[in-house]
Structure 1
Amino acid sequence: MTDTREFDLTVFGATGFVGRLVAEYLLDAAPPDARIALAGRSAAKLALVKEGLGPRAADWTLVVADVGDPTALACLAARTRAVVTTVGPYLRYGMPLVRACAEAGTHYADLTGEPLFVREAADRWHDTAVATGAKIVNSCGYDSIPSDLSVYRLYRRTVEDDTGELTDVTLVASFKGGVSGGTVDSARAMMEAVAEDGSKSQVLADPYALSVDRDREPEARGLSDQAFGRASGIDPSLDGWVGTFVMAGHNTRIVRRSNGLLGWAYGKNFRYREVMSVGSSPLAPVAAAATTAGIVAGIGALALLSRAKLGRRVLDRVLPAPGTGPSEKSRRTGWFTMKTVAHTSSGAKYLATFAAEGDPGYQATAVMLGETGLALAFDELPEIAGVLTPAAAAGEALTERLRAAGMTIAVERA
């Protein structure tokens, strides 16, 4: 992209909770001469956000644009090298910006955890983005950068060691943090979409729904995201018990899409799943079983209530509202650790660790989205374009950026 754009990076949704966190992060993380814009639908709210950021944001520009105004979005996309967006649920509000960026050749990053959105974005705008050179990068927060980059780093290590292709790979997630209102609202948006069009349930049921070529994938047998058992059953080095990880359904599909986008570099028989650690206390087996059962029941209840107007009203009353979040103290005391055990076709075994301080859905996610935007705006990246994953778009650059930001990303041979 030639350097004729007015801005290097635009934060779209800057008046929302996570959008403000991203803007705050960029105050220190962006180069001093970076040309930053804050975008949203309310000029008054954008002005308040800029004022709250202090004098270091004095030169940042405010851009008014609404997802319902295609002309404004096209103008926004044409003015900037890259956009990061926190405006979700993306199924409801995200596609117009994807279109604008794909058509303008503008790089884009979001926080979606919605497979239905990624599938639709790829079907509608991948070819356009390829033609213009735009990198449309989905899932650049806790959904799904730790998963995606962990497997990418494992792949790079096997290439360095010449130990063959990845075969069976399992990620075990541990974390402390809350569930955001935006995450819950995204789940609701998907359930409502399925209620309106039952065929969309096939996307949610298919482990390879986001693949670039479904016919080239291995059989889905044994890839269930539901889990309950001892962690030592995954690898003797792991302690405690594991249960179902609520984010596995999206993360695993993103990782499998990366494999396809990279030419099936991970392996033709690459098999991947994710589970969640529930600790090793005497009550851990109960917690593992309850977690798995609770997730299944919760998804079922959400799907049922999302079908009717009365049910949606009930959900409005009991679920956290989008655009809300925890206190600064709570955000800073959160953490996450992802341990990924990988086996290769030669019999080698590896352990990847991806860990960071800060609430994963807020503090750490703001860092990940912010650094993705900076990589898209400033770094020399692979020439690949289209609707992409973090690993395919910027695997090496993003790894180094997140390490420099204080996150642990490491691979060791077990």
Structure 2
Amino acid sequence: MTQREFDLVLYGATGFAGKLTAEYLARSGAQARIALAGRSEERLRAVRDSLGAGARDWPLLTADASVPATLDAMAARTQVVVTAVGPYTKYGLPLVAACAEAGTDYADLTGETMFIRESIDQFHKQALDTGARIVHSCGFDSVPSDLTTYALYRRAAADGAGHLGDTDLVVRTLAGGVSGGTVASTMEFMRTSSRDPHARQLMNDPYTLSPDRAAEPELGGQPDIRWRRGGEIAPELAGYWTGAFAMAGPNTRIVRRSNALLDYAYGRRFAYSEQMSLGRSLAAPLAAAVVTGSSAVALGLGGRYFDRLPATLVERVAPKPGTGPSEQTRMRGRYRVETYTTTSSGARYVASMAQQGDPGYQATAVLLGECGLALALDRDKLSDLRGVLTPAAAMGDALLARFPAADVQLETTALRRTEMIGARGTPV
């Protein structure tokens, strides 16, 4: 790429997630040439003025998703566009188009699987030709899922322990609010799937985002909604119960796409699922059943009859896009996930990842900021892949190197071998 005016442009800097990302970049992006972009120069200036001396000279760019020419102009001036403007199904494709055309790297926060599928279908080939990296799902959805699995792959490869087999992410701690942007994205997905039977069919396929569906292994069902005894996942979780995790659908498909994009480096027998720990009390089995059953009913009804449901009631109660909790509430939030795997040699590992801060807001802003900075500044550490990518496939090594300085804790640990038989009938 020829030298461009900016290393990174943050688009949507006046929204709630955008402001938090701008604050993070002001603290951590001192080496980068950064600009802020959005529809209103006045609001952009107010955001910039709130960021302190480090951002005082950041340029302001006016760009609007409804005016594609403004997106084209923005993409042509920078190496990387980081966008917090959603729902992406409604607003995202024109910016993907602009970046694919200009050969500009791109990172977003989407958890909208059908948007990613459209991005692949329409722009993957063009991005390959121009050298653009279009990287979706760079927040809490789906960096912890994608990077813990990638870290396990790197650890197993370094140890000569073989390929990854049964791999399960368990959310052990999750404290924080629901993002207004996440609610808007969920509503948009429900609307799409209720009107489009083909979209519902695709969402039932574990390899919805595969670059080559026919090349994927047939491993049987890998359900997104399930409840299990913790001991079926790993002996270390014996006594715990797990239930459905709300973001398993998009996250699992991102992780499976990473494996395919990396030429099945994780393995041809790599099977991946996600669930949430619900404790080990006497009530835990009931909680697991209720959470999982409720998720199944909500997804089933929403996917078929959303237009007939009182969706406006949900939208009235839920946080609005561009809004969020107080700073004190955000800082009290936290999460911790653990991803367990058994390799083809029988070795067992766990990768744990944790951050302090509300997952949907504070932690996500850090992850999006680090993804943007990795694309902009760590180009020698990025993979050679181009096109529509995932965080792990585009910049796995760069992110692993960046995490410690960003207070993102990610570590892998070798576990004791055992002859216990897991839920899929394989030794763990």
Contact persistence 2:341–2:349 (CA under 8 A): yes
Could you say which residue in structure 2 is the equivalent of 1:252?
252
Partner secondary structure for residue 336 of structure 2: strand
Q: How many Å apart are 1:280 and its aligned residue?
A: 2.0
Could you say which residue in structure 2 is the equivalent of 1:377?
376
Distance in structure 1 (CA, Å) of the matches to 2:40 and 2:306:
29
More divergent stretch after superposition (177-186 vs 68-77): 177-186
Partner secondary structure for residue 411 of structure 2: strand
Contact persistence 2:30–2:54 (CA under 8 A): no
Could you say which residue in structure 1 is the equivalent of 2:407?
406
Q: How many Å apart are 1:164 and its aligned residue?
A: 1.2
Taking the TM superposition and a 5 Å limit, the aligned residue runs for 1:152-163 are 152-163=150-161
Q: How many Å apart are 1:82 and its aligned residue?
A: 0.4
Taking the TM superposition and a 5 Å limit, the aligned residue runs for 1:75-114 are 75-114=73-112
Distance in structure 1 (CA, Å) of the matches to 2:306 and 2:79:
38
Partner secondary structure for residue 178 of structure 1: coil
Could you say which residue in structure 2 is the equivalent of 1:289?
289
Could you say which residue in structure 2 is the equivalent of 1:6?
5
Taking the TM superposition and a 5 Å limit, the aligned residue runs for 1:114-125 are 114-125=112-123
Report the TM-score, using the length of structure 1 for normalisation.
0.96
Q: How many Å apart are 1:214 and its aligned residue?
A: 0.8
Distance in structure 1 (CA, Å) of the matches to 2:146 and 2:398:
14
1:143 correspondence with 2:141: yes
Taking the TM superposition and a 5 Å limit, the aligned residue runs for 1:6-405 are 6-32=5-31, 34-174=32-172, 175-239=174-238, 240-303=240-303, 306-308=306-308, 311-379=310-378, 380=380, 381-405=382-406
Could you say which residue in structure 1 is the equivalent of 2:420?
none
Q: How many Å apart are 1:123 and its aligned residue?
A: 0.7
C-alpha distance after superposition, 1:3-45 (max 9, x if no partner)? 2x1111111100000000000001111024x211111111121
Distance in structure 2 (CA, Å) of the matches to 1:296 and 1:400:
38
C-alpha distance after superposition, 1:115-145 (max 9, x if no partner)? 1011110110001111111100000000000
C-alpha distance after superposition, 1:197-243 (max 9, x if no partner)? 22111221111000111111122523111222321221111152110
Distance in structure 1 (CA, Å) of the matches to 2:221 and 2:190:
25
Partner secondary structure for residue 264 of structure 1: coil
Where do 5+ consecutive residues of structure 2 fail to align? 416-428
Q: Which amino acid aligns with 2:197?
A: G
C-alpha distance after superposition, 1:143-192 (max 9, x if no partner)? 00011011111111111111111111011012111111111111111121
C-alpha distance after superposition, 1:79-105 (max 9, x if no partner)? 111011010110000000000001001
Distance in structure 2 (CA, Å) of the matches to 1:366 and 1:113:
15
More divergent stretch after superposition (229-238 vs 148-157): 229-238
Distance in structure 2 (CA, Å) of the matches to 1:334 and 1:305:
34
C-alpha distance after superposition, 1:34-74 (max 9, x if no partner)? 21111111112111111111222111011111001110000
Contact persistence 1:8–1:80 (CA under 8 A): yes
Contact persistence 1:305–1:312 (CA under 8 A): no
C-alpha distance after superposition, 1:253-307 (max 9, x if no partner)? 0000000100011111110000101122332222212211222233345445632
Q: Which amino acid aligns with 2:12?
A: G
More divergent stretch after superposition (224-233 vs 271-280): 224-233
Q: How many Å apart are 1:400 and its aligned residue?
A: 1.2
Could you say which residue in structure 1 is the equivalent of 2:418?
none
Partner secondary structure for residue 140 of structure 1: coil
Q: Which amino acid aligns with 1:69?
A: V
Q: How many Å apart are 1:337 and its aligned residue?
A: 0.9
Contact persistence 1:227–1:275 (CA under 8 A): yes
Q: How many Å apart are 1:324 and its aligned residue?
A: 1.2
**Alignment: residue pair count:** 411
Distance in structure 1 (CA, Å) of the matches to 2:113 and 2:315:
23
Distance in structure 2 (CA, Å) of the matches to 1:24 and 1:305:
40
Q: Which amino acid aligns with 2:403?
A: L
Distance in structure 2 (CA, Å) of the matches to 1:351 and 1:266:
15
Where do 5+ consecutive residues of structure 1 fail to align? none
More divergent stretch after superposition (16-25 vs 191-200): 191-200
Distance in structure 1 (CA, Å) of the matches to 2:326 and 2:86:
21
Q: Which amino acid aligns with 2:273?
A: R
Partner secondary structure for residue 63 of structure 1: strand
Distance in structure 1 (CA, Å) of the matches to 2:254 and 2:408:
21
More divergent stretch after superposition (296-305 vs 158-167): 296-305
Distance change in 2, residues 1:181/1:366 (3 Å) = same
Partner secondary structure for residue 171 of structure 1: strand
Q: Which amino acid aligns with 1:402?
A: F
Percentage of pairs with the same residue: 53
CA RMSD in angstroms comes to 1.4
